[in-house]
Chain A
Amino acid sequence: MKDMMKETEEKVNIHKKSRRRLHAAVISVLVVISILCLYLLQRLVMPKYAKGIVEGAFAAEYYKETTDHDVIFIGDCEVYENFSPITLYEEYGITSYIRGGPQQLIWHSYYQLEDTLRYEKPKVVVFNVLSLKYNEPQSESYNRMNIDGLKWSKTKYDMIQASMMEEESFVEYLFPLLRYHSRITDLKKSDFEYLFDTPHVSHNGYYMRVDVKPAADFPDPPQLVSYDFGDTAMLYLDKMTKLCKENGIELILIKAPVLYPYWYPEWDQNVKDYAEANDLKYINFIDLADEIGIDYSQDTYDAGLHLNLSGAEKLSSYFGQYLKEEYDLEDHRTDPVYQEAYAEKIEFYEAMKQQQYDELEQYGKIISFGAEAIED
């Protein structure tokens, strides 16, 4: 009798155990499916920056590069709208990439550089100094555009920590679904189209615009209480200088030749002093606009804030000559690897140029780019 009871008990226990195992297996499968589902939703709701404000796509686009670069540009719209890496290649065989971003603040730039060094070691780094005027995070949306596209690494973690506004949360960078969830009711065609792959919108980080809007008068610049750059901004400039020196990279400080935002002579002097003290090159292109041949009635698409394609090509042509002379950069035009890669890039460059001219002709304005772009 006892044996029978024991046997029954054992059977019950075995049954319970196998039931528990089955439950665990079912739950495991369900958890995996749930995580997959959340991941897909995250991909779906994250902005694709395929049309209109495409600048948010720049950060991720870098990782698609198949060749390395001799020159890396870092900075805000004053680099990614004013320099054309394709011109630098076509005219001088210089390979370059702009790791720029909208309102890229100096800590963004620093970490973009740090991230770049994880993949390649350029000979020259060009940093546009306008962002020195900001000492604190400015905007969540620009933070997102500069950070979201970066691959996960300690650099990205540090960049987020340095960049977050008070109302932002690290968790929402880690799980962007939590930040962009409300887009679920406002999805566009491109959200499905680019679910797994971000669109290609730049030319080695260059944002092309072929339209023309002559420079206008800007308001007189206000007088500032202090013309010194902030401590945080200077700290990151020091870090950038140190990082370049440690890696044997030439750091060039530049100020792009645009008319607005106003670049104060006092700021200019501060940068000159810094460059001199740290044995760096500093080029203020505003002073060289005539020598470059920039015509502000023809070479800007937004009344003097940024250059258009014509202006960018002129500036790149001028700067390319300088880079060639000063840094003895190799001409990669004869290298088959680069030839193949750049043939594709040039084709894309020309196609976009044509597309924009066509849009201009048809609609009187460019409809694929900019804040007024029409998205499906």
Chain B
Amino acid sequence: MLFTSYSFIAFIIILLVLYYLVPKKWQWSLLLIASYVFYFLCDARYLIYISFTSISTWGFGMLIERQGKKQDDYLKEHKELGREEKKQYKAGIKSKKRHAMVLCLVINLGILAVLKYTNFVIHNINGAIRSFGWGSPLTFVNFVVPMGISFYTFKSMGYIIDVYRGTCKTEKNLFRYMLFVSFFPQLVQGPISRYNDLSESLFAQHAFEFKTLWFGIQRILWGFFKKLVIADRMLIAVNTLKDNPEQYGGAYVFALMMFYAFQLYADFTGGIDIAIGVSNAMGISVAENFERPYFSKNIKEYWNRWHITMGTWFTDYIFYPITVCKPMLKLSKASRKHLGEVIGKRVPVYLSAFVVWFTTGLWHGASWNFIVWGLMNFVVIMITQELKPLYVRFHNRFHVDGKRWYDGFQVIRTILLMSAIRMFDVYRDVPLTFQMMGNMVTHFHISTLFSSSMLALGLTGVDYIILLAGLVILFTFSMVQRSGSVREKLWCKPVPVQYLAAFLLLLAIILFGAYSIGYDSSQFIYNQF
């Protein structure tokens, strides 16, 4: 069930009506049923996987909790124990807890790996078989990959790690936990919520409030606008350009780079807006996933503002644990000793960052394109970090820091840089991406971008005008948003103004949305992750 399908809209309307009609104590149960119905309607087979992940992580969570309780009880009963004995006992319990957590991670990440990456591995093995003439290639497997498996697996893995760390309370009720994992607005493309952040609001009883519902509807409409008016219209040109690289080199590659940058942004943030809007309409607060990332002045800042919940997940559950793990500490010590303090202390950080970006790439998709994309991010961040002293000297020498034109330059530079890196997930393979990027530089003629050939990409002149208007609205909205919530600002206006704004948005979606027959209606890009 696509977020932009009529069935989804009907599903939401029915759910919202029921949500506020049923006794409040049943609201979360209704949401659990709705989430499983949603998943069932997408593909009944998905239910097996999500149920397994939910039950297994909940079970291991309870096991870890029990160990903790056992420890508390034991220590209470055995107050006579010496410090060393207590420490020994605690270490034993901790080890058991760690075993439970690791087993849970292995099982669930194993499922994710097998379902999502088996064919990628086979593809690479077959490449080797062909290159070295080792015999007949392996047959590809045909697994069902549940929609949003990466999202719900990461969500539940975050939970089990937090339970192990003791930073999150264990959920005693299996069904409530199942709702946390399967909460349908987040199933498709996130945000990847933490149990501590979501649970209170998710299980709370929500009385009907017009403002809550109205804000939710506004956010949903905004998401639809971004997805249908901008992203899906731009997709037409993106597909034409990327599917015909032999025809579209030079400046067209640049056009593709920019089209894809805005298409991906509108598509992804549009989906997140719908997800958050649906949650908000029920009074449920969900973590924000974007904070105007295209206003970032450098790549590091960009990654703090783009897909925020994914970034923090990787930082909290991969980067920090790797950085402070025993082998890494040993490596840190050794590198400082042999390479000196300055370089030596960078080694473990960069190594951890490398692992994070490699897994980030892999998480995005089972192909070398994504892995290279991830590593390119790593390289750019590393270079930026290394060049920091140089930047500081430059800023001090020319006094450009804080100047508006320089801020603008930095923002544009970041957009171009990120868009260029993102080209690795556009073309069909990595060598072609390098080839096309080279072609863009060597055959760039700016006149191409203003020639009539741009009308042969599947977009008419009117489409370009709609896109331009859409992007202007998007930009204006982002500018207004910098000083606070747009919805709150609108709420202060008279009722007809509020209504008119929402109605015009609805009208724009209905009239200028790229949907229905004749348009290549697409899945949200992040559905595949």
Contact = CB atoms under 8 A, between A and B. Distances in A.
A200 interface: no
Contacts of B518: 182
Contacts of B460: 185
B499 A27 contact: yes
Interface string A163-191: 00001110110000111011011000000
B503 A181 contact: no
B297 to A, nearest CB: 38
A167 B503 contact: no
A172 B510 contact: no
Given A27-B499, A38-B510, A177-B510, 16 more contacts: A26-B499, A30-B496, A30-B499, A34-B503, A38-B507, A41-B507, A41-B511, A178-B515, A179-B516, A179-B517, A181-B510, A181-B511, A182-B516, A184-B511, A184-B512, A185-B462
Interface in B460-498: 460, 462, 466, 495-496
Contacts of A171: 6
A294 to B, nearest CB: 39
B197 to A, nearest CB: 34
Interface of B: 6, 460, 462, 466, 495-496, 499-500, 503, 507, 510-513, 515-519
Nearest to A144: B517
Contact of B503 (A23, A26, A30, A140): A30
Nearest to B210: A23
Interface in A66-88: none
Interface string A253-289: 0000000000000000000000000000000000000
Contacts of A140: 517
Given A41-B511, A169-B6, A171-B6, A181 B516 contact: yes
Contact of A167 (B496, B510, B517): B517
Contacts of B516: 169, 172, 178-179, 181-182
Q: Which 7 A-B pairs have the closest CB atoms?
A: A185-B462, A171-B6, A30-B499, A184-B511, A181-B511, A26-B495, A34-B503
Contacts of B512: 181, 184
B267 to A, nearest CB: 19
Contacts of A179: 516-517
Contacts of A182: 516, 518-519
Nearest to A23: B495
A34 B513 CA distance: 18
A140 B517 CA distance: 9
13 contacts: A27-B495, A30-B495, A30-B499, A34-B503, A41-B510, A171-B6, A177-B510, A178-B515, A179-B516, A181-B513, A184-B511, A184-B512, A185-B466
B517 A168 contact: yes
A177 B511 CA distance: 8
Most buried by B among A23, A178, A185: A185
A207 B507 CA distance: 37
Q: Of residues B462, B503, B507, B517, which shows the largest number of chain A Cβ atoms within 10 Å of its Cβ?
A: B517
Contacts of B500: 30
Contacts of A30: 495-496, 499-500, 503
Contacts of B495: 23, 26-27, 30
Contacts of A38: 507, 510
A327 B97 CA distance: 92
Contacts of B507: 37-38, 41
Nearest to B465: A185
Contacts of B517: 140, 167-168, 179
Contacts of B6: 169, 171
Given A34-B503, A181-B516, A185-B462, A26 B511 contact: no
Contacts of A177: 510
A178 B510 contact: yes
Q: Which of A26, A172, A179, A181 has the most CB of B within 10 A?
A: A181
A180 to B, nearest CB: 9
Nearest to B10: A171
A41 to B, nearest CB: 7
A186 B27 CA distance: 47
B6 to A, nearest CB: 4
A153 to B, nearest CB: 22
Contacts of B462: 185
A41 B507 CA distance: 10
A167 B500 CA distance: 33
A23 B466 CA distance: 34
Nearest to B460: A185
Nearest to A45: B511
Contact of B496 (A26, A168, A169, A181): A26
A362 to B, nearest CB: 33
Contacts of B515: 178
A26 to B, nearest CB: 5
B11 to A, nearest CB: 13
Interface string A22-45: 010011001000100110010000
Contacts of A27: 495, 499
Contacts of A23: 495
Contacts of B510: 38, 41, 177-178, 181
Nearest to A140: B517
A140 B503 CA distance: 30
Contacts of B499: 26-27, 30
A184 B511 CA distance: 7
A219 B459 CA distance: 38
B210 to A, nearest CB: 9
B491 to A, nearest CB: 13
Contacts of B513: 181
B158 to A, nearest CB: 38
B10 to A, nearest CB: 8
A270 to B, nearest CB: 34
A26 B500 CA distance: 12
